[in-house]
Amino acid sequence: MAKTPTVDSNALPEERQQRILERLRAEGRVVAAELAQAFEVSEDSIRRDLRELAALGLCKRVYGGALLPAVTLTPLKQRRHEHSARKEALARKAASLVQAGQTLLIDAGSTNAAIAAALPRDARLTVITNAPHIAQVLLDREGFEVLLIGGRIDTTIGGATGAQAVDQVRRVRADLCFPGACAIDAAHGLWGFDSEESLFKRAMIEASDETVVVATDDKLGAVAAHQVAELARVQHLVVEHSADKATRAAFTARGVAVHRAEATAG
């Protein structure tokens, strides 16, 4: 059972909302009456907290409490053309962490496709991926050995998921893995939207010596339904140049090496 965050009845509204959010992530749902009792405040105060969290997209209001928000993942075909300059800046920083001769596990996703395109050509790299579009990016370039993880292809995610894909990834070993980031926070680690996709990401991390999470600003501190890994399993976090200083410091304090991408025009 998930550990319930410590409650402080003297917490400021912002602090209380953060702890409500932590409980919501840990348990998947919160009840207003229980929160009011735990924080020793009125239910009106709790309802106000939940309204404010819902306005930020961090929870979904329901009668008597709140749930984690339902998230619809944008199809990969659309994501490929969104924020390309930002993703390319992140990709260049991520690729700089790769050393010659390494074996990489690269998850599906538009940012990870940019990482594949940014990898050095003459570094004798082996890339294992569940994403046909990433395999194709590398096949169009010389100097890479490419291994494609098979199984059922989820067209929204753009990669293989499910038991067959998980079984295959458990049979390999990588130096670095790049799991796609749906959400990551300094308190609870890496999160995913889909249960099967999250299981695959977890298997990637378990099969790798080090994990590199590459996250656009909207993924930092965001909410998703399925925990992929505790933050202790993440060694590197690549963030945008615009990432908040306090947010970067929170990850650094937890032992994660934070790498800041170059600024992009506009």
CATH of the domain at 40: 1.10.10.10
Residue 77 binned pLDDT confidence (cut-offs 50, 70, 90): low
125 with 234, same domain: the answer is: yes
Specify if 209 maps to a domain. Answer: yes
- Supply the range of the domain harboring residue 44: 13-67
Asked if the model's pLDDT at residue 165 lies above 60, the reply is yes
Domain count, the chain: 2
Asked if the model's pLDDT at residue 169 lies above 90, the reply is yes
Asked if the model's pLDDT at residue 196 lies above 70, the reply is yes
Among 49-53, 107-111, 144-148, 216-220, the range scoring the smallest mean pLDDT is: 216-220
pTM score, whole prediction: 0.73
Between 52 and 72, name the one with better pLDDT: 52
177 with 234, same domain: the answer is: yes
pLDDT in tens, 45-59: 999 999 998 887 788
Q: What residues contact 211, with CB distance under 8 A and at least 6 apart?
A: 176, 177, 179, 205, 229, 233, 234, 235, 236
User: What is the mean predicted confidence (pLDDT) over 215-224?
Assistant: 81
Residue 10 binned pLDDT confidence (cut-offs 50, 70, 90): low
Asked if the model's pLDDT at residue 204 lies above 90, the reply is yes
Specify if 178 maps to a domain. Answer: yes
Residue with tokens 């590199």: 212
